[in-house]
Amino acid sequence: MIRLGLCCKFQAEPIAFRRTTAAALQRLPRAAALQKLDQICLDNAAALDAALHYCTRHGIGGFRVNSQILPLKTHPQAGYAVEDLPNGTKIVQRFKACGAFAAQHDVRLSFHPDQFIVLSSENAEITRRSLADLAYHAEVAAWIGADVINIHGGGGYGDKAGALARVSRNLGRLPPAVKSRLTLENDERVYTPAELLPLCRAHGVPLVYDVHHHRCKPDGMSVEQATEAALATWDREPLFHVSSPIQGWDGPKPSLHHDYIDPADFPECWNGLEATVEVEAKAKEMAVLRLARDLRRQGRTLKTRPCADTDKQ
């Protein structure tokens, strides 16, 4: 059965994750900067705990964790190790407690790092930073039990074959903690499922199939064919993405996400799958709850149900 996933933040619920900037930190003495980061990390662990409790109460089966949950962790000037923070041990314990709660209540956790993290770049420094950031994600993923760190293929740089060859080489450089969680996603501008699937198969990297992106950038594969091919790349519960275009499929920019999901955009061939579907919509938790209600009204069975009567939201 399908579980629906919420992405990163909330629209109406007063649950928020804190961030800061490198410029703000660098105006402070190092000790004061670390103290500020310490409090932000503690607050973000508390926000993650609140998010997981919300998901459990409302029958949301997955949560994508914000990549800046430990802000600027790998920044070249403002970065830090958790051990540098005054309450570093407590921070790790708080996140591990979140992971234990998620496991107990079957809320699947994932990451989708920022788009500047790419393995196809021609620039060695960008690649180095990307690898460092993926290692950071894997560190936190181990604390909380997240099994997906999802990235896009990156740029084509005028030579997709060469770019994908660089991705292939860099996949071989990944430590096991990253490689065991890494997934690739088709995007709406550069790489289609058909272009990423050979790489996924060769390296045992699952494909996160984004049906919206595929509809924006078709490749000759049907939704049914792409779904079947993507499913075959997974060695654990598959994870897919769904969204709807705010200007409609005939609008000038169909790639732009709507506040909510049109149930017609949820593929029929996904019925009955054992999979996580992350809902990429601007209304966040309200969009997930509405889609769950709409799918149930269509007779589709979801993996989780709300603990309270929230179907009317």
308 pLDDT band, cuts 50/70/90, is low
Residue 47: pLDDT over 80: yes
312 pLDDT band, cuts 50/70/90, is very low
Task: Give the up-direction half-sphere exposure of residue 54: CA atoms within 13 A in the CB hemisphere.
Answer: 23
**Residues 287, 279 contacting (CB under 8 angstroms):** yes
How far is 44 from 231, CA to CA, in rounded Å? 33
300 pLDDT band, cuts 50/70/90, is confident
Determine the topology of domain 2-297 in CATH. Answer: TIM Barrel (3.20.20)
Residue 313: pLDDT over 70: no
Crossing angle for the helix pair 223-231 and 193-203, nearest 10 degrees? Answer: 10
Output the pLDDT for position 303. 84
pTM for this structure?
Answer: 0.95
Task: Give the up-direction half-sphere exposure of residue 275: CA atoms within 13 A in the CB hemisphere.
Answer: 25
How far is 5 from 64, CA to CA, in rounded Å? 7
Residue 309: pLDDT over 50: no
What proportion of the chain, given as a percentage, has pLDDT over 70? 98
With tokens 């049906």, the residue in question is 211
Residue 277: pLDDT over 90: yes
How do residues 124-138 score in pLDDT, each as one tens digit?
Answer: 999 999 999 999 999
How do residues 205-242 score in pLDDT, each as one tens digit?
Answer: 999 999 999 999 999 999 999 999 999 999 999 999 99
Residue 55: pLDDT over 70: yes
Phi and psi at residue 184, to the nearest 5°: -115, 145
Output the pLDDT for position 285. 98
Domain boundaries, the chain: 2-297
Residue type at 195?
E
